[in-house]
Structure 1
Amino acid sequence: MTSLSTPVHYVSVGHPAYSQPFPCEPSTAKIGRELVRNVLGMWCLDNLADRATLIATELIANAARHTPCHEIHLIVTRPSLTRVRVGVVDQEPSRLPALSQADDAEESGRGLLLIDALSDRWGCDLHGSGTRPWAKEVWAELRLEVAE
């Protein structure tokens, strides 16, 4: 079982980034929320924690539901001074996310709609070179309110 006592990878140059591998299963969402909340706390960005943890939960749930992967990587980064990015990398680049409209009677199918509503922007990046990507990262960004 992966836990937060497992070392988190930290990038010491450029913008801060934290990454941790997890099993690709729905129960990973709890540990993922803890990681996101702890990272944002270290950055003194607790005000983003509720939205960011919900986004992480949905990204993890989507990977667990829509890919056959055994492992994912949860990544929390600061791509700029005014943005936080939460992403999940899986090794199923052929299954790209797409917004869909779930019927009122359906119990699932609203994850990306929720991410779209909570984030300032979201997307998907393929990892790898040329025409044969080896993974994809589905991510969402939150904008920081900067005092002037």
Structure 2
Amino acid sequence: MTAVPVGPQRYQGRYPATSEAAAHARRDIALALEAWGLPQLVDVARQVVTELVANAVEHTESTTVGASITRTGTVSARVVVTDASRTRPTPGTPADDAENGRGLCLVDALAHTWGSELVHGGKRVWAELHADGPQ
């Protein structure tokens, strides 16, 4: 008997859009990656999901935020954060002494690629993570 693939490994969760959402999503995404044997993606995934969830909480009026991770290869995964806003994120150009505004710049530096798309009920922001780092 041979094994038949049933689809990619995937974790998804929904969180109240509060200041604790990023910490909960970060923990759950890290646990999924560890369970899949992808510890080399844990640190970058934690940083990326933290920034994307924090942006959704801070810059939208969503009551909940979704976060998911899907294994896309032997050493790669895709993080997706969803919210109810139809406004797509754009990286800012914060002043040198600004305390905020660098989240998407960080995502851009850490992810192989990233983007956003409008979906029914809001948008999704995604980032492709590869163990060999960004492009």
What's the TM-score, normalizing by structure 2? 0.88
Runs of 4 or more off by more than 3 Å in structure 1? 79-82
| Structure 2 unaligned residues grouped into runs of 5+ | none
Letter in 2 for 1:107: E
The answer on whether the counterparts of 1:75 and 1:86 sit within 8 Å (CA) in structure 2 is yes
Q: Which residue of 2 aligns with 1:75?
A: 68
Q: Which residue of 2 aligns with 1:141?
A: 128
Letter in 2 for 1:100: G
What's the TM-score, normalizing by structure 1? 0.81
Select which of 119, 127, 131 maps to 1:127.
Answer: 119
Q: Which residue of 2 aligns with 1:9?
A: none
Letter in 1 for 2:106: L
Q: Which residue of 2 aligns with 1:131?
A: none
Q: What pairs with 1:94-113 in structure 2 (closer than 5 Å)?
A: 95-113=87-105
Cα distance between partner residues in 2 of 1:81 and 1:136: 28
Q: Which residue of 1 aligns with 2:109?
A: 117
Equivalent residue pairs, number = 128
Q: Which residue of 2 aligns with 1:56?
A: 49
Q: Residue 81 of structure 2 aligns to a residue in which SS?
A: strand
Identity %: 36
The answer on whether the counterparts of 1:18 and 1:75 sit within 8 Å (CA) in structure 2 is yes
Give RMSD over aligned pairs: 1.5
The answer on whether the counterparts of 1:25 and 1:60 sit within 8 Å (CA) in structure 2 is no
Letter in 1 for 2:61: P
